[in-house]
Amino acid sequence: MVSNISSALNAYQQALSRIGGNVPVSEPKPTISNEFQNLVKSAVDEAVDLSKTGEDMTLKAIQGKADIQDVVLAVSNAEMALNTVVSVRDTAIKAYNTIMSMPI
């Protein structure tokens, strides 16, 4: 499909040059999906890190080395991050299912 888009862009560029317009037509960026992938990966990594921090703080509280407020804050942050990741996942699945059910 990318070759079809590239061919179309090249054809439009040639047509513009023939009629005297020198408007540059840029190639579509293939990195858009990579940027989205990196965004999702970093969000999941951050959620995992917050979860590990919450677990570490809980262990420190059990050992008597951490304040209960710090433990509650760390666990709350981990829970909020997990809820965000689950919400994004659910929205992505819903969008995928909507696209797949569209008539062609």
Choice among 31-35, 70-74, 94-98 with the minimum mean pLDDT: 31-35
**pTM of this prediction exceeds 0.75:** no
9-43 pLDDT tens trace: 667 667 666 666 555 555 555 566 788 788 888 88
pLDDT above 70 for 3: no
Residue boundaries of the structural domains of the chain: 30-100
- Burial classification of residue 32, based on how many CB atoms lie within 10 Å of its CB (0-12 exposed, 13-18 middle, 19 or more buried): exposed
| pLDDT confidence of residue 36 | 79
Using CA of residue 44, residue 45, residue 50, residue 51, what is the dihedral sign?
positive
| pLDDT confidence of residue 1 | 43
List alpha helices for the chain, DSSP H. Answer: 2-18, 31-62, 68-100
